[in-house]
Chains A and B, each alone.
Chain A
Amino acid sequence: MIRLLGRARLRVLTVALLGVGLVRGEPVPTAVGDFLSHYCAGCHSVAQPPNGVRLPPDEIEWRDRGQARVWERVQVALATSGMPPAGAPQPDSGERARTASWVEAQLLAHSGPAASIPRRLNRAEYRNTIRALFDMPEFELPASFPADSSGDGFDNLAHGLTVSGPLLAEYVALAARVADEVLPPKAPPESAPRKSYALSPTAFDSSAGRAVADRAFRIVSSRNMASAAAWPSRFEAAHSGVYRVTVRASVFQSEGMFYAPREKGVRLGLYARPKTGQFYAPFGDLRKVAEFSLPAGNHAPAHLSAEVELYAGELFGIRWEDGPAYSDPPRRDYSHRFLADRLTRDRLYYAAMLEFGGGPRGTTQEQVYEATRALMESGTLDLSDPRLDGLPEVWGGGLSDAPHNWIKAFVHEEMMRFGPAVDVSGIEVVGPVRLVEDAAARARRARAEAFAAGPGPEATARERAVLVLGRFLAAAFRRPATSGQVRAYADLALQHVLETPGARLEDGLRLAVRQALVSPRFLYRGLRPGPLDQFDFASRLSYFLTSAPPDEPLLALANRGALAGSAVLAGEVDRLLASKLSDNFVRSFAGQWLSTRTLKGIMPDPRLLKFYDPDREALVAEAEMFFAEILRKNLPVETFIEPGFSYRSARHNKIYGTALEGNQMRRVTLQPGDRHAGLLGMAAVMMATANGVDTNPVPRGVWVLENILGRPPGEPPPSVPAIAPDTRGAPSILAQLASHRADPACASCHSEIDPLGTVLENFDPVGRWRERYPVYMQPADGEAPLEEDFYSTEGKGVIPGPPVVTVGILSDGTRLESVADLRRLVLTRADEFAACLAEKLLAYGTGRAPGFADRRVAQRIARDAVARGAGFRDLLVAVVQSEAFSLR
């Protein structure tokens, strides 16, 4: 048998649960023990029994899910007369049925709602809850906030959501921080001495200009507008306030310039940005705080003054707003037209460009300029070269064309030397002249007013506290607060005011808010076992479909006791899925079910292809948009396997060999039989089930069993080493797997796992189709390592290796030759696939670890749904309507 790294972690979790004593073995009743001894022990009591099933056991730990899984198989084997095998002594039907039903009863009694526990809010739920509770849409968790552990494939299952010291410490700290945002403490008046700053032109930070002999900083207009400004990085606003800025600037145009002298003046914009922000933020995202005009023509520096608002931590930048090559949206193509014009007008210049060809990588702007100028002045260029006629469109048109970069470099350097340009010879800043309330402070004040709204001026402190806290606690605990709770929190607030010198009621209320935000009633849901009441049900439904607390309509239904009945529930599911917040469900559920969340941790081998973050995002977006369409259009679950459509952009071309244009995702139609159709061919899934470097049929086969067919294989014995694929192809991974299957202890699982993964070997680690394994050429000893580009763009570093073999035979004799066979197989077992999906929805929705009882429910829902030709959303509604969903 083969051990999988991913599954090893699961084992650790199981052991940990055993360790804390959640799991305790129960003895086997005598009658059952006798049955097992008599009919099973002959084979199943040796040291290494078949499938690791040792019968009879000394005791059974029903809550250990590994053991429960084994007993599920025992139950099926007994109920279907699959065991004992033919030729062995057979029990009579009564004995068989009694033992099978005892096992079933035990499994039911120890799984599903019977095994449920309170469920902590996970990271995303906690963040969304704070956002909703306090109207803080921008709220983000700090970097120090711990990640959730994910058990059984989802990060929102109750047993995986533990509370540790560091997590609680974050809750405590965040409670204080958030409470300050809601009820800002009275701050001492800010002391903000007015200061003067003289900013020297040499202290600018920009690639749009450079210092000229320490006298001035020259800003040219540039295609790369993101950096086409000058930022005096030795200044930052210490306080949010008004600053008086004076810029000394002039227009520079030399005699020898290539442009007609500018007739109109120059507009200079002043922008504010956070000091630690990155350069390449688009200008549209920055705050423009002032604009100046400079007269046309060379002139002495003009003094341009303005009073501008800067928030604490911001600095400002100066930008030439209407230079010859600006390209902000919506006029993004302006710079291309500018360059095309420039090239068409001056054929000599253009011929020099063609001759020069850009120079080697690493050529500087100055070198491009000098080399091109030398060619222009050499008199050797052939101006009748017909290639010159077609090039302006080619070079002027596309952002991604390689020559564009050095044409830009040439123009940039030319303008730097001869103009037109703006020279900034000094900046003075004085301030803050007066303090201002920044956006965050304004939002705080609005929140404080909303929080305290209600009681009239004549209300006593207690009346105020009771009213305000009653409203707040109901929202925080997602159910009406009892009068006892409200009294306790009001007491806390009033007591704090009494005991703290100088405290106001707000200080007491703030403490009460902090208290509520670390209360188990806020941090957990499902604190009561058994059937959920209306409010717990509203929370379950809401967090299920939006990862956020219940909204007003849901709470109103719960208040009336009307959140029940098929029609109401179906209506609420539709309503929630129609809301923007349901994107949370799509991202979270699909990202975990399809493992596409793991993509951000996978760095594809650069020898395979160049792969950038936007490519990764495009792959994830394809999976999510595909999932969302099936959900929102209520398409049959079979659509996941054979869809006839997907969502893609030009970023997918290098994966799928398509020729789409533009990076905008759009719906594409797929022909029947498309290799990459559906989940069993989608690049995101194939990448998630590989490691970025090579593929291994075992994780992919396990993935198909766990996530498509709903038949997770048993745990491998701990003593077996993992198989690592050998990328050189010999001995092939298939041969290694075959030798493993020769061991009967491994065969029972691997005869299922291996063919399912092998048939996917046509997909390389990034999901591209391949028919041969790649073999990488190694640089000889002492040679420089091959460049990334060498492999991917030239293809010289890779030679085709051994052919990919995908044929395998499942234990029931089904022969799988290609991924098309696998799709057919899944489609013939559509109810198994639907049950697998329903089980995952039930687990994700209820927070219960998948178990026998819920599996039974999921199978029933799925059979029924497939039989009536129901869609995916119908399946989801049926899950919500099931009794299992309304039990904790």
Chain B
Amino acid sequence: MTDRHGRRRFLHGLGASIALPMLERFAVRRSTAATPPSGPLQRLVCAGTYLGFYQPHFFPSQVGQRYGFPPALGPLEGFRERLTILSGLDHRGRNGHHGWKAWLSGSVGGGVSFDQVVAGHVGDRTRFDSLQVTCGNPPDEARLSFTPEGVALPMIGRPSVLYAKLFRSGADTQRVRYLLATNRSVLDGAVAEARALEQGSGSHDRQKLGEYFAAVRSVERRLGKQAMWLDRPVPEVDYSLPEFDPVAPNLALECESIMYDLIGLALATDSTRVVSFTIPGWSQVFSIGGRNLSAGYHGLSHHGNDPQRIADYTLVGIEHSRRLAGLLRTLDRATDGQGRPLLDTTAVLFGSGMGDANTHDNSNLPTVVAGGAFRHGRHQHYDRNAAATRLLGDLFVTLMQGFGMEVERFAGARSGLAEDLA
């Protein structure tokens, strides 16, 4: 693994050195602008590994508070009291890699994902309603976030692109301003043409054109928001990217570290409050601890119960957990306007839409929830065969309720997990 300690040290100090003044500024803005959110949760991060985990190394064998910390999650042990491991949850959905897109939505048909429901609730307070992040250039099927219209949101896989989106202004602002202004004039022109067509057309045609006018108004609102944020300065951060983007598949773990750093900065600067992160996997052969693993990552996930492959598969899982622990530390040290650690008001969902990669089985999805004011510190098991069984959607319901949203059902779930988590 590459040595990234220099930058890590800086990030560890981020809560004290940078985030505080910045968030105070945002806190002032919040108090004057938007209505204060009613629920205790303010932020949501959903990070999932495309190739899943070896389940016996992810789920503890004991339930309740006194459980042995599972090896694949090892680096997260320091947050034991701030997280909950949940087993037995899934969507009762389809098997195979296609089930990935159902992870946050419960639907392989492109239903809305719950992070986007949350973004609809808190998104208008920040520069970006939500961010979709990945490493490199995974296929479209790896996208996680779906709008209410069923659009799979594209992901940013290059650290330099994400950084520029969040923190760079200047050179292209003029171009963006020009595009915004001309887009408005284009829309005005389009409306004028549609009005001309409307003249003398029948009622059904007018109905069809009515859709068009409604869509124009919606785009105008969106352009308005973009223009408003264009006039506000971007946050200043002291963060140095590497000279090149580590986006080649064999550097994916390195890319993952940087992406978590940027996610932490995005949340600390209140640039967005909702992030989904697809941690992809191909056939790349990772080298961990100076040793090439016994097979490519995808090959390891199809371990065939071979002990060496399982061990190596979990080594990769541990690296994912280590990087997530970095984000949790960042969120624990950065504070909001009231001096609370961001982690106290951030829900972090970690796991996978892939249950058992070896057999492409999507039952019992690996699931961890960290942060927020939940009753943590336990391994919560749900019996899939019990009469009052629970679905992964029940967790989403509870998380959404944590944002003060009045949600009772999602993805087939109708109960929530409040009795265990709240």
Q: Which of B218, B247, B250, B359 contacts A165 (CB 8 A)?
A: B218
Contact-residue size bin, chain B (C-beta under 8 Å from the other chain): 35 or more
Most buried by B among A162, A164, A167, A205: A164
Chain A residue with Cβ nearest B356: A785
Chain B positions 337 through 359: 1 when the CB is less than 8 Å from some CB of chain A, otherwise 0: 00000000000000000001011
Contact B149 A205, beta carbon cutoff 8 Å? no
Residues of chain B lying within 8 A (CB to CB) of residue A205? 248-251, 284
Contact B193 A601, beta carbon cutoff 8 Å? no
Question: Beyond A176-B179, A276-B157, is A236–B359 a contact (Cβ under 8 Å)?
Answer: no
Residues of chain A lying within 8 A (CB to CB) of residue B358? 785, 787-788
Residues of chain B lying within 8 A (CB to CB) of residue A210? 292
Question: Beyond A146-B149, A147-B150, A362-B304, is A176–B183 a contact (Cβ under 8 Å)?
Answer: yes
Within 8 A of B (CB), among A514-536: 514-515, 518-521, 524, 527, 529
Residues of chain A lying within 8 A (CB to CB) of residue B98? 601, 603
Question: Beyond A205-B248, A278-B249, A362-B295, is A606–B360 a contact (Cβ under 8 Å)?
Answer: yes
- Bound-state CA distance A118–B149 (Å) is 22
- Bound-state CA distance A51–B93 (Å) is 34
- CB of A22 within 8 A of chain B? yes
Contact B209 A520, beta carbon cutoff 8 Å? yes
Contact B295 A511, beta carbon cutoff 8 Å? no
Contact B202 A529, beta carbon cutoff 8 Å? yes
- Among the listed stretches B135-143, B227-235, B326-334, B396-404, which one makes contact with chain A, having 4 or more residues with CB under 8 Å of it? B135-143
- Bound-state CA distance A172–B184 (Å) is 10
- Bound-state CA distance A751–B196 (Å) is 53
Within 8 A of B (CB), among A239-279: 275-279
Chain B residue with Cβ nearest A233: B248
State the Cβ distance, A786 to closest chain B Cβ, in Å. 8
- CB of B308 within 8 A of chain A? yes
Question: Beyond A207-B285, A279-B249, is A603–B94 a contact (Cβ under 8 Å)?
Answer: yes
- CB of A144 within 8 A of chain B? yes
- CB of A234 within 8 A of chain B? yes
- CB of A166 within 8 A of chain B? yes
Chain B residue with Cβ nearest A158: B208
Chain A residue with Cβ nearest B192: A488
- CB of B16 within 8 A of chain A? no
- CB of A117 within 8 A of chain B? yes
- Bound-state CA distance A492–B186 (Å) is 10
Residues of chain A lying within 8 A (CB to CB) of residue B183? 172, 176, 514
- CB of A163 within 8 A of chain B? yes
Contact B136 A276, beta carbon cutoff 8 Å? yes
- Bound-state CA distance A430–B149 (Å) is 48
Contact A361 B306, beta carbon cutoff 8 Å? yes
Residues of chain B lying within 8 A (CB to CB) of residue A233? 246, 248, 250-251
- CB of B207 within 8 A of chain A? yes
- CB of B74 within 8 A of chain A? no
- Bound-state CA distance A83–B207 (Å) is 39
State the Cβ distance, B295 to closest chain A Cβ, in Å. 7
Contact A168 B182, beta carbon cutoff 8 Å? no
Residues of chain A lying within 8 A (CB to CB) of residue B273? none
Question: Beyond A236-B244, A279-B283, A529-B205, is A169–B154 a contact (Cβ under 8 Å)?
Answer: no
Q: Which of A146, A235, A511, A787 contacts B151 (CB 8 A)?
A: A146
Contact A144 B222, beta carbon cutoff 8 Å? no
- Bound-state CA distance A75–B183 (Å) is 53
State the Cβ distance, A430 to closest chain B Cβ, in Å. 15
Chain B residue with Cβ nearest A115: B204
Q: Which of B179, B222, B361 contacts A169 (CB 8 A)?
A: B222
- Bound-state CA distance A165–B247 (Å) is 33
Most buried by B among A21, A145, A601, A786: A601
Chain B residue with Cβ nearest A514: B186
Question: Beyond A276-B248, A515-B186, is A164–B215 a contact (Cβ under 8 Å)?
Answer: yes
Residues of chain A lying within 8 A (CB to CB) of residue B110? 147
Residues of chain A lying within 8 A (CB to CB) of residue B109? 601
Residues of chain A lying within 8 A (CB to CB) of residue B421? none
State the Cβ distance, B268 to closest chain A Cβ, in Å. 27
Contact A603 B246, beta carbon cutoff 8 Å? no
Residues of chain B lying within 8 A (CB to CB) of residue A158? 208
Chain B positions 181 through 197: 1 when the CB is less than 8 Å from some CB of chain A, otherwise 0: 01101110110011001
Contact B306 A360, beta carbon cutoff 8 Å? yes
Contact B248 A142, beta carbon cutoff 8 Å? no
- CB of B415 within 8 A of chain A? no
Contact A511 B95, beta carbon cutoff 8 Å? no
Contact B246 A234, beta carbon cutoff 8 Å? yes
Most buried by B among A20, A118, A529: A118
Chain B positions 362 through 384: 1 when the CB is less than 8 Å from some CB of chain A, otherwise 0: 00000000000000000000000
- Bound-state CA distance A121–B85 (Å) is 48
Question: Beyond A527-B197, A601-B98, is A492–B189 a contact (Cβ under 8 Å)?
Answer: yes
Contact A529 B201, beta carbon cutoff 8 Å? yes
- Bound-state CA distance A59–B199 (Å) is 31
Chain B positions 289 through 312: 1 when the CB is less than 8 Å from some CB of chain A, otherwise 0: 000101100000001111011000
Question: Beyond A117-B207, A117-B208, A205-B250, is A521–B193 a contact (Cβ under 8 Å)?
Answer: yes
- CB of B108 within 8 A of chain A? yes
Most buried by A among B189, B249, B292: B189
Residues of chain A lying within 8 A (CB to CB) of residue B187? 172, 518
Q: Which of A361, A364, A603 contacts B96 (CB 8 A)?
A: A603
Contact B219 A236, beta carbon cutoff 8 Å? no
- Bound-state CA distance A529–B203 (Å) is 11
- CB of A143 within 8 A of chain B? yes
- CB of B10 within 8 A of chain A? no
Question: Beyond A22-B207, A362-B308, is A163–B193 a contact (Cβ under 8 Å)?
Answer: no
- CB of A231 within 8 A of chain B? yes
- CB of A343 within 8 A of chain B? no
- Bound-state CA distance A144–B207 (Å) is 26
State the Cβ distance, B396 to closest chain A Cβ, in Å. 22
Chain B positions 145 through 184: 1 when the CB is less than 8 Å from some CB of chain A, otherwise 0: 0010111111001000000000000000000000100110
- CB of B413 within 8 A of chain A? no
- Bound-state CA distance A511–B283 (Å) is 45
State the Cβ distance, A692 to closest chain B Cβ, in Å. 7
- Bound-state CA distance A404–B237 (Å) is 54
State the Cβ distance, B129 to closest chain A Cβ, in Å. 12
Within 8 A of B (CB), among A197-244: 205, 207, 210, 231, 233-236
State the Cβ distance, B94 to closest chain A Cβ, in Å. 6
Chain B residue with Cβ nearest A236: B244
Q: Which of B140, B306, B361 contacts A143 (CB 8 A)?
A: B140
Residues of chain B lying within 8 A (CB to CB) of residue A22? 204, 207
- Bound-state CA distance A164–B217 (Å) is 10
- Bound-state CA distance A210–B204 (Å) is 68
Q: Which of B202, B211, B283, B305 contacts A787 (CB 8 A)?
A: B305
Residues of chain B lying within 8 A (CB to CB) of residue A147? 110, 150-151
Contact A165 B294, beta carbon cutoff 8 Å? no
Contact A362 B306, beta carbon cutoff 8 Å? yes
State the Cβ distance, B418 to closest chain A Cβ, in Å. 28
Residues of chain A lying within 8 A (CB to CB) of residue B186? 172, 175, 511, 514-515, 518
Residues of chain A lying within 8 A (CB to CB) of residue B152? 143-144
Chain A positions 151 through 169: 1 when the CB is less than 8 Å from some CB of chain B, otherwise 0: 0000000100011111111
- Bound-state CA distance A275–B136 (Å) is 9
Residues of chain B lying within 8 A (CB to CB) of residue A162? 211
State the Cβ distance, B217 to closest chain A Cβ, in Å. 8
Question: Beyond A205-B250, A788-B359, is A519–B190 a contact (Cβ under 8 Å)?
Answer: yes
- Bound-state CA distance A606–B97 (Å) is 13
- CB of A615 within 8 A of chain B? no
Most buried by A among B149, B186, B245: B186
Given contacts A147-B110, A205-B251, A279-B282, 6 further A-B contacts (CB under 8 A): A118-B208, A364-B295, A514-B183, A514-B186, A518-B187, A606-B95
Q: Can you report 10 A-B residue pairs in the complex whose CB atoms are below 8 A from each other?
A: A164-B149, A169-B219, A207-B285, A278-B249, A279-B283, A603-B96, A605-B95, A606-B95, A606-B359, A785-B358
The 5 A-B pairs at the shortest CB distance, nearest first, are namely: A165-B218, A362-B306, A603-B96, A233-B248, A276-B137
